[in-house]
Amino acid sequence: MQLKDKVAIVTGAGVGIGVEYSKRLAAEGARVVCTDIQGDHAEATAREIVAAGGDAIGFKTDVTSKADTDAMANRTQDQYHRIDILVNNAALFTALPEGPFDELKEENWDRCMEVNLKGVWNCIRSVYPFMKKQRYGKIINISSVTWMMGRPYRLDYVTSKAGVVGLTHAIAPELGEYDINVNAVVLGLVQSDSAVKVYGAEHFQKFKERQVFKRSLTPQDACGAVVFFASDNAEMITGQSLVVDGGLVFH
């Protein structure tokens, strides 16, 4: 177990990839705090971990609210007496309407930035005092290859995920003084249940044809990079972006 007795917070842990991150971290020995805007879903993820023999709690957190993310960090500290790992996974994607950039509604742009970018900033600000005090922390921000390759009709999402990488690069030097690592996992198109419902199987087939590895990424494929950055194997790695996309883009 690479993460035995570590304490990990996962945002967006109630659905899709966030569930898999939570379960994988628990399988590696971490005590997992599952948070989601849908609190009942976060609780369900925690129950699943506990049923499998792990240690987890789940509750509602709105990452757009600094008061909520502060409460998240404080509750974690009260429960487990430390915060070692933060996985900034909460984001909007399938719920965002597609369309030309000049028809994008301002309220949709603002909501996307509030969740996908401000939410990351809020969570880091909330856990930072605890990680700083213990001089240890692993922060993993989840981004997307869309910012590297461009994607029409998704201006808000692509821009927000580019911002996550920029935030990672900018904040890593500040937190490094306190032995806190900050890295990003940049994902290709992951074949989650929600994505299949929105885009259909043909969409994933097109992506597979463009990848080096001719199969769709699964939520489980994304977990290895998160565990790596959360572990002490990545002790001297910070401010980096690791692409997990089956060989879709090269940089």
Q: Give catalytic status of residue 136 as yes or no.
A: no
Structure tokens at 87: 């996985």
Angle, helices 155-176/106-113, rounded to nearest 10 degrees: 30
Catalytic residue among 21, 128, 136, 157: 157
Contacting residues for 195 by C-beta, under 8 A, at least 6 apart:
16, 93, 94, 189, 204
* CA proximity to 35, closest of 65, 6, 4: 65
Contacting residues for 106 by C-beta, under 8 A, at least 6 apart:
none
Structure tokens at 51: 């049923």
**How far is residue 23's CA from residue 20's CA, in Å, rounded to a whole number?**
5
Hey, which residues are catalytic here? 157
